[in-house]
Structure 1
């Protein structure tokens, strides 16, 4: 799992310049082999996981299980997560759980 360090835009820009990259997209493609679209998906999944930190002790939740929860509020995410069996879902079950809200 790729871990993202929180940075503000200015810190990120200066860090990338120092490493010789002209953009976040260039960094993602050259250094990580990931498209900008996928980097944003990973960042959204990380945001969801942070919002679930009170109701899960797992640090290895696949981003494919987290991304469907992104449109929900933090409270709704926690409700959906807690509604499952020990917080373990597959993608189909997550979508079904989201539909009950």
Structure 2
């Protein structure tokens, strides 16, 4: 089932805005529903709501219908924003 990224975007942004300093269960649940991570893993790896927002932005690029070179270009253009997220994910899975 394809993901409605606009709706997902809006949901995540709303939850991030409502969150305090810690990733809450609703935010972790939305991310874990699209990944292989559990809610607890999302909360552990990305305790800050702003990091979850960055993860969402990265996931949106990766799952877009654009070609591989455009995806790479978008990731490189946002490398400062995504650097910490990529490092966290690689440390988890490598």
More relative contact order, 1 or 2 (CA 8 Å, 6+ apart) = 2
Larger Rg: 1
TM-score, length basis structure 1: 0.30
Q: Given the two structures, how large is their TM-score scaled by the length of structure 2?
A: 0.31
